[in-house]
């Protein structure tokens, strides 16, 4: 799987406060012993050794505030977007950010009386996954005050955001620091923050749309929808294959089975889909496959860090019978990796396997997949598989090229203040067929003069003039 195991495999180590020289030394050790692409990326050993010596010397005189960028410079040598370092604790600059704790003085009783009689489309009670807020006009802007939230960070009546003119927003983050934002209002009931990619839905006064209609609108805004374009052609948009979207995608496909079965042409838009898990596209494959899919497996680098991550994942599984098979599978992997520490271990019994996906009884006769440089990781895995179908063509530009090393997990590497995301497998396509930093090439190149890719694909499928 190309899935990023970030949420379920965080491993804790004994931490220490490291100066920059120590932090770099520990990071180098982690990469050299646990990054499955290390040997491939350092085939020119003289060049790597020179770089390591140079950056190690620099670390000796680098202070703590500049160390993070130096660590990033070291990781940049490997040019692998599945390697990522972040700061676990807030930096000094973050600590010095101004915090905002303004409050409204209106009572809930007065607010409810006001919104029961308001004609203002923004005034009312709005809800997101984490917050319930009341929005009220305040002279030349609107204040959104907290009604319900995690009280560790927010108290009732504190101002969560301010809606300004021309779609601008002053949004206060969980730590009460200011974030400049923009918003759009859809159908007077969906308030969407564009950079945060977060939606607030109106719940009072009762909106004109039903809950189901509002969810469809949110899905469309966030890039998860199916739309009939013409009598012959249908558009399927999937903006992410992340774990939290799997059920959403499955419902989308299940609710539009008839449309998918009866459309002649299907355009699948995965532009800027940064990936996630292979499970995210599993339900799409039967409609686009014409034959079994031949896949080359992967080899996991057996390390103690990988074993600890799997153990931590297993420990977090609920103590329910339905997870027994997962526990047994993880235990078998731990036992296997423990016997082969420091070695590459295949993900299956054979280096090549055949995915015998049964094609849908009915489905489109021609499929176009739209892809660009933002199409990455599991989305590239989807394209890699889809290209084996006789009825699929990829249209666009080369993909991101983040597919050779995957199944990344997030963990500490021994120094307080840093987290490291590191892939754990190496594709057995290598070295003959590298994709990283090259991308999967389209069958039909979309040059820069094409402004509307969907219309271009539609014209191509329906033999119109482009």
Does 378 lie in the same domain as 441? yes
Does 144 lie in the same domain as 263? no
134 within some domain: yes
Q: Determine whether 143 is exposed, middle or buried from the number of CB atoms within 10 Å of its CB (0-12, 13-18, 19+).
A: buried
Element (H, E) at 40: helix 38-41
Give me the pLDDT at residue 2, please: 40
Q: Determine whether 283 is exposed, middle or buried from the number of CB atoms within 10 Å of its CB (0-12, 13-18, 19+).
A: middle
Nearest one of 300, 313, 175 to 243, comparing CA atoms: 313
Domain boundary among 208, 237, 255: 208
Alpha carbons 80 and 84: distance in angstroms, whole number: 9
CATH number of the domain bearing residue 177: 2.40.128
Spacing of C-alpha 367 from chain mean position? 25
131 within some domain: yes
User: Do 145 and 133 meet the contact criterion of CB atoms below 8 Å apart?
Assistant: yes
140 within some domain: yes
The pTM assigned to this predicted structure is: 0.86
pLDDT tens string, the chain, 466 residues long: the values are: 444 443 344 444 456 789 999 999 999 999 999 999 999 999 999 999 999 999 999 999 999 889 999 999 999 999 999 999 998 765 444 555 688 899 999 999 999 999 999 999 999 999 999 999 999 999 999 999 999 998 889 999 999 999 999 999 999 999 999 999 999 999 999 999 999 999 999 999 999 999 999 999 999 999 999 999 999 999 999 999 999 999 999 999 999 999 999 999 999 999 999 999 999 999 999 999 999 999 999 999 999 989 998 998 899 998 888 889 989 999 999 999 999 999 999 987 788 889 889 999 999 999 999 999 999 999 999 999 999 999 999 999 999 999 999 988 887 788 988 989 999 999 999 999 999 999 999 999 999 999 999 999 999 999 877 7
Does 193 lie in the same domain as 124? yes
Give me the pLDDT at residue 14, please: 53
Q: Determine whether 232 is exposed, middle or buried from the number of CB atoms within 10 Å of its CB (0-12, 13-18, 19+).
A: middle
Q: How many domains does the chain have?
A: 3
Residue 134 belongs to domain spanning: 108-208
Does 255 lie in the same domain as 166? no
Domain boundary among 208, 241, 265: 208
Domain boundary among 290, 323, 341: 341
Does 295 lie in the same domain as 311? no
Does 368 lie in the same domain as 441? yes
User: Do 86 and 418 meet the contact criterion of CB atoms below 8 Å apart?
Assistant: yes
Does 124 lie in the same domain as 271? no
Does 379 lie in the same domain as 234? yes
Give me the pLDDT at residue 410, please: 80
């Amino acid at each position: 799987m190309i899935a990023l195991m970030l949420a379920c495999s965080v491993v804790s180590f004994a931490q220490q406060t490291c100066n920059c020289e120590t932090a770099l030394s520990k990071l180098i050790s982690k990469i050299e012993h646990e990054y499955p692409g290390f040997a491939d990326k350092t085939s020119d050993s003289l060049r790597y050794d020179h770089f390591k010596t140079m950056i190690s010397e620099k670390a000796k005189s680098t202070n703590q505030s500049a160390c993070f960028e130096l660590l990033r410079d070291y990781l940049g040598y490997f040019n692998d977007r599945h390697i990522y370092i972040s700061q676990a604790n807030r930096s000094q600059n973050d600590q010095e950010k101004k915090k905002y704790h303004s409050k409204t003085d209106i009572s809930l009783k007065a607010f409810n009386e006001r919104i029961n009689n308001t004609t203002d489309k923004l005034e009312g009670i709005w809800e997101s996954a984490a917050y319930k807020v009341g929005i009220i006009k305040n002279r030349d802007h609107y204040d959104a005050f907290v009604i319900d939230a995690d009280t560790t960070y927010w108290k009732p009546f504190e101002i969560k955001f301010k809606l300004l003119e021309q779609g601008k927003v002053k949004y206060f983050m969980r730590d009460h620091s200011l974030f400049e934002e923009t918003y759009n209002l859809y159908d007077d009931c969906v308030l969407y923050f564009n950079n945060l990619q977060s939606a607030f839905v109106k719940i009072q006064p009762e909106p004109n749309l039903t809950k189901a209609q509002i969810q469809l609108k949110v899905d469309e805004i966030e890039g998860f929808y199916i739309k009939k374009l013409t009598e012959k052609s249908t558009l399927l948009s999937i903006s992410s294959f992340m774990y939290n979207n799997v059920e959403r995608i499955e419902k989308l496909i299940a609710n539009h089975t008839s449309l998918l079965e009866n459309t002649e042409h299907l355009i699948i838009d995965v532009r800027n889909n940064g990936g996630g898990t292979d499970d995210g596209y599993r339900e799409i494959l039967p409609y686009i496959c014409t034959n079994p899919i031949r896949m080359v497996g992967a080899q996991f680098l057996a390390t103690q860090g990988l074993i600890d991550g799997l153990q931590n994942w297993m420990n977090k599984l609920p103590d329910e019978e339905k997870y027994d098979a997962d526990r047994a599978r993880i235990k078998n992997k731990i036992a296997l990796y423990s016997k082969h520490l420091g070695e590459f271990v295949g993900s299956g019994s054979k280096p090549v396997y055949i995915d015998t996906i049964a094609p849908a009884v009915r489905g489109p006769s021609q499929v176009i997949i739209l892809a660009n440089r933002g199409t990455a990781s599991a989305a590239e895995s989807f394209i890699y598989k889809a290209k084996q179908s006789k009825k699929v063509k990829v249209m666009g530009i080369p993909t991101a090229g983040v597919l050779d090393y995957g199944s990344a997990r997030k963990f500490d590497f021994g120094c307080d203040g840093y987290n490291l995301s590191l892939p754990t497998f190496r594709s057995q396509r290598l070295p003959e067929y590298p994709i990283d930093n090259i991308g999967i090439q389209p069958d039909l190149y979309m040059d820069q003069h094409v402004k509307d890719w969907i219309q271009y694909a539609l014209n191509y499928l329906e033999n119109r003039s482009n």
